[in-house]
Structure 1
Amino acid sequence: MTAMPSQDQLIQAQGAHFTLWVDAEHMLDVELLEVLPGAPMSSRHECFSAFFGLPPGIALPQNSYRLAPSGEEEGWLLLLTPSPPEADGRHVLQAVFHMEKPV
């Protein structure tokens, strides 16, 4: 796995596509819809949420999934939780990041 992305890195990637592994044999193309700031526990930390739009007609439960920028094999193991759907009906998964700020 690669290092977790920072809030700035994901903000720059809004609108980009990522690969989400449902299991070892099944992958989905998901879109990073939005990145919103959260409330960090100290000035040394950052907290934010990233929202990923699933393909139309697909809904997934809360689970730990591997997610990587499209075209990359490495990625992150993230707990993704269902969030309210988009206006177009697409289901959304949310990842919450809370970690020390990058140096």
Structure 2
Amino acid sequence: MDKKSSLAALAALGQETRLDIFRLLVRAGADGVPAGEIAGRLGAVQNTVSAHLKVLAQAGLISPGRDGRTVRYAADMTGFRDLLAYLMEDCCEGRPELCRPVIDAVTCRC
């Protein structure tokens, strides 16, 4: 991940509804959540949620998938891991091996 991509991801997560959507999708796991159900779970307006989903997808944090006629969104854990790795790559005064336990703790093999 580069600086521009990391800024896009952080900006996407820097908005309350988008952060709520991302956290909802992380909890849902690989199966994701149908697009129409996301708004209902958050008590938000569908067209507003659609705009937020687009921002999160463009930032590489979520991905859509077709399930028949339904679009399901799931957290893109690779994109999220890439963001975490970028943020921590220069940690510990250039000794990233010292941060390995933290990186291992916050990443999963989802």
Q: TM-score, normalised by structure 1?
A: 0.28
Structure with more of its chain in strand, by fraction = 1
More helix by share: 2
Bigger Cα Rg: 2
